[in-house]
Amino acid sequence: MRAYVLPAEGAAPAFAEIEVPEPADDEVQVRVTASSVNPHDVMVASGAAARYMTYRYPVVLGSDVAGVVEAVGDGVHDLTPGQRVFGLVRELVAARGSFGELVAVPRDWLAAVPDGVTEAAAGALGLAALTALRCVEAIAPTTDEVVLVNGATGGVGSYAVQMLVARGATVVATARPGEEEKHVRDMGATEVVDWSTGDLAERVRSMQPAGVAAVIDLVNRDRGVLTALAAGVLAPGGRVASTGHAADADALSGFRTVNVRAEADRAAMALLGELAGSGRLRAPVTRTFRMDEIDSAFAALRDGALGKIAVRI
């Protein structure tokens, strides 16, 4: 089958014919129709993810999956061929991926696509929506709390803002003026702070003098920078969730810190399906590329993403 792969260490990504991935026990083989690009895919493609992942070549690129069940392995009884599913490929070995005609993944990384959810939307849920869910679970907002989402304009941020608003929280979102600000307000943010000028912590404090209850940080990888931001904006007892592994529990000892790693399980994937099916979670797709334009989709993500960049497979 045809797939977009990293053929060998140091080689550039390219289309190649590879063996069809067969489903093992408790796995599902999906005929892929839609996906999207994530920063993680760019890291794997560049080889940079080798710092924390083992590569098994050829590495099929792509994390997000939407498509139709082609076959199921032994032990899978609740998904059947022909059924629409969405989900993701998420493991510490870079080997299988979604930018190909077929992918075989554990059943627990998938959920049924509800009626009314388009292929493009289903293909853009995967990693970003799951990560947003894990961030929101980590800070567990109560109704009427104020949460700062730093990096709100991207894939994870767009989903996190919607989930927080659906739980009754008030969101302060980072975005530059213009199209970005409009985007985060469309997602449900009520206050917007321009991260590109001035001191972010000071600007948030001027909007929320009593401090915010929690921070979801999708930007920082430097622990010192996130510590300064969190200490500057959080009210006593506040919580911080970081996707960049930048939440420093020692430096932020008065606060609850969580370094999020998005892991899929059946309940989380089913919840994302329910949220999307009921219209409470909209896939924030702003651009779509064809499969043969995946390198352009990667370039677009590197150049600056608003919401999600979808790929038709």
Please list, in sequence order, all residues whose beta carbon lies within 8 angstroms of the beta carbon of residue 155, skipping any fewer than 6 positions away. 36, 38, 124, 127, 128, 284, 305, 307, 308
- When binding is defined by CB under 6 A, the residue of 67, 87, 123, 155 that contacts ligand NAP is 155
CA dihedral of residues 11, 290, 111, 301 (deg, nearest 10)? 60
Report residue 178 CA to chain centroid gap.
Answer: 24
40 binds ligand NAP (CB under 6 A): yes
Please list, in sequence order, all residues whose beta carbon lies within 8 angstroms of the beta carbon of residue 137, skipping any fewer than 6 positions away. none
243 binds ligand NAP (CB under 6 A): yes
- When binding is defined by CB under 6 A, the residue of 33, 36, 38, 208 that contacts ligand NAP is 38
Q: Which stretch binds ligand NAP (CB under 6 A): 71-79, 124-132, 139-147, 204-212?
A: 124-132
Contact criterion met (CB below 8 Å) for 68 and 102: no
Contact set for ligand NAP, span 160-189 (CB under 6 A): 174
The whole-angstrom separation of Cα 116 and Cα 99 is 24
- H or E element that contains 286: strand 285-290
- When binding is defined by CB under 6 A, the residue of 13, 21, 23, 39 that contacts ligand NAP is 39
- When binding is defined by CB under 6 A, the residue of 211, 244, 251, 286 that contacts ligand NAP is 244
Please list, in sequence order, all residues whose beta carbon lies within 8 angstroms of the beta carbon of residue 75, skipping any fewer than 6 positions away. 25, 26, 107
232 binds ligand NAP (CB under 6 A): no
DSSP state of 100: B
DSSP state of 105: E
How does 282-311 read in b/e, with b if 16+ C-beta sit within 10 Å? bbbbbbbbebeebeebbebbeeebbbbbbb
- When binding is defined by CB under 6 A, the residue of 138, 146, 215, 262 that contacts ligand NAP is 262
Please say which residue, 72 or 171, places its beta carbon nearer to ligand NAP. 171
- When binding is defined by CB under 6 A, the residue of 98, 153, 162, 170 that contacts ligand NAP is 153
149 binds ligand NAP (CB under 6 A): no
Contact criterion met (CB below 8 Å) for 98 and 118: no
DSSP state of 33: E
289 binds ligand NAP (CB under 6 A): no
195 binds ligand NAP (CB under 6 A): yes
Q: Which stretch binds ligand NAP (CB under 6 A): 53-61, 202-210, 259-267, 289-297?
A: 259-267
Least distance in angstroms from the C-beta of 58 to ligand NAP: 23
Please say which residue, 40 or 96, places its beta carbon nearer to ligand NAP. 40
Least distance in angstroms from the C-beta of 197 to ligand NAP: 11
Please say which residue, 72 or 105, places its beta carbon nearer to ligand NAP. 105
- When binding is defined by CB under 6 A, the residue of 58, 67, 87, 154 that contacts ligand NAP is 154
Contact criterion met (CB below 8 Å) for 96 and 39: no
Residues that bind ligand NAP (CB under 6 A): 38-40, 127-128, 131, 150-151, 153-157, 174, 195, 218-219, 243-244, 260-262, 301, 304-305
